[in-house]
Amino acid sequence: MTPAAADRRRRLRALAGPGGVIAGLAIDHRDSLGTVLANRGLGDLTGDDIRVLKLRLVRALAPAATAVMLDEEFGGVALDAGAVPPSVGLIMPLEAQGYEALGDGRTTTLLDDFSPADALRRGADACKILLPYRADHEPSATAQDALVSATAAACHEIGLPLVVEPVVYRWSSETRQAFSDAYRRLVLDAVGRLAPLGADLLKLPFPVLDLASDGPAAAADACRELARACGETPWVLLGAGADGETFIEQIGIAGAAGASGFLAGRGIWGVALDPDPDRAERLAVTIARPLFERCRAIAERTARPLPAGEAG
């Protein structure tokens, strides 16, 4: 094993807890956070306000996590303040906000001022790339595949693992029913294409859109199919803004099917968004953190630990 490969394995271990399960806090949101804030009537917060808000949220929640996904633009202040404890893994995003159109598809653009080497200097244990993905649109899927392969190679060269997050989306001309009908297959096809391209960890959506209507049995079947599509690549569940009780149920179903935990965002900390930093931190401590701890407990009871030799 090369030194870079050994470093990559060690850093992947750092994302999990002692039992090998990942309970991650995703707070690397940038443009999407602006949208959430605007929807809450907080669209007048400045960039500096958002930096302070992230600092307070990370300070309150990171100690309960095994890993934190945090950006440089709005999260750098939290890193400078030491809000992420040394025992908690750090994942940093490489994608720029907004997406380029390729015909009817969307493609990811990397940040031009933040590279894997910058993440390494920041103390990151992994990098992440988010991919709008439609496997049924060959031009954009091919471009996304190439970007993943190149990004994985760049990360691996310096000993960093790469987390890949495909997010399927609805065409503007596609009805909600048509998208719902295609959703499971779109997720599975995305994973089938991306899993062999060098990702060290896949961050994946729950493969049914409506757990209440589809039911636990169908959801479990979909998650088992998702696990088969991942092959040897470990995967974790993303939150997608699901409410707490729904997400807890999803964690249990995905864990039983082979997920190695979760990386959750606004469904956890959204309740703590407040223009007053002190109040935001109190809400994070009293409401968001207990919910996160419940999610972690379910994951640690049900999820599959990272493969032997990759669990921290």
Distance CA 93, CA 112 (A): 12
Within-domain flag for 307: no
Separation CA 95–CA 112 (nearest Å): 9
Would you say 220 and 256 are in contact if contact means Cβ atoms under 8 Å apart? yes
> How many structural domains are present in the chain?
1
The per-residue pLDDT for range 211-268, each reduced to its tens digit, is 888 889 999 999 999 999 999 999 999 998 888 999 999 999 999 999 999 999 999 9
The reply to whether 237 falls in a domain is yes
CA distance 69 to 75: 9
Longest Cα–Cα distance of the chain, Å, equals: 52
Whether the pLDDT of residue 312 is over 50: the answer is no
Which range among 2-6, 50-54, 231-235, 300-304 shows the weakest confidence by mean pLDDT? Answer: 2-6
3-state secondary structure of 64: helix
Q: Is residue 281 a part of any domain in this protein?
A: yes
pLDDT at residue 305 tops 80? yes
CATH number at residue 56: 3.20.20.70
Please name every residue paired with 237 in a beta bridge, in sequence order, or none if there are none.
204, 262
Residue 242 belongs to what domain range? 3-302
- Given pLDDT bands bounded at 50, 70 and 90, which one contains residue 311? very low
**Rounded Cα gap, residues 274 and 16, in angstroms:** 30
Q: Is residue 283 assigned to a domain?
A: yes
pTM above 0.75, yes or no: yes
Q: What is the mean pLDDT of residues 1-8?
A: 88
pLDDT of residue 45: 87
Report the pLDDT value the prediction gives residue 100, as an integer from 0 to 100. Answer: 61
C-alpha dist (Å) from residue 294 to 61, 64, 84, 114, 300: 13, 10, 20, 34, 10
Residue that is written with structure tokens 């990559």 in the block: 8
Residue 82: exposure state from Cβ atoms within 10 A (0-12, 13-18, ≥19):
exposed
- Is the residue at 14 inside a domain? yes
pLDDT for position 99: 62
Q: Dihedral of CA 273/35/122/48: which sign?
A: negative
| Confidence (pLDDT) at 179 | 93
Asked whether the predicted pLDDT for residue 32 surpasses 90, the reply is no
Q: Where residue 42 falls among pLDDT bands split at 50, 70, 90?
A: confident
CA distance 94 to 161: 12
Q: Is 29 helix (H, G, I), strand (E, B) or coil?
A: coil
What is the 8-class DSSP label of residue 195?
Answer: G
Between strands 67-69 and 22-26, the pairing is parallel
Residue 312 domain flag: no
Instruction: Decide if 195 is inside a domain.
Output: yes
What is the chain's length?
312
Is position 311 within any domain? no
The per-residue pLDDT of the chain, averaged, comes to 93
Helix (H) or strand (E) holding 266, with range, is: helix 266-269
Q: Are strands 261-264 and 235-238 parallel, antiparallel or unpaired?
A: parallel
Q: Where are the alpha helices (DSSP H) in 81-234?
A: 116-121, 138-157, 176-194, 211-214, 216-230
- Round to whole Å and give the CA distance between 42 and 212: 31
Position with higher pLDDT, 40 vs 185: 185
pLDDT digits (tens, 9 = 90+) for 269-296: 999 999 999 999 999 999 999 999 999 9
Q: How far is CA 205 from CA 8, 54, 102, 210, in A?
A: 24, 24, 23, 12
As a whole number, mean pLDDT of residues 83-97 equals: 96
Distance between CA atoms of residues 247 and 267, nearest Å: 8
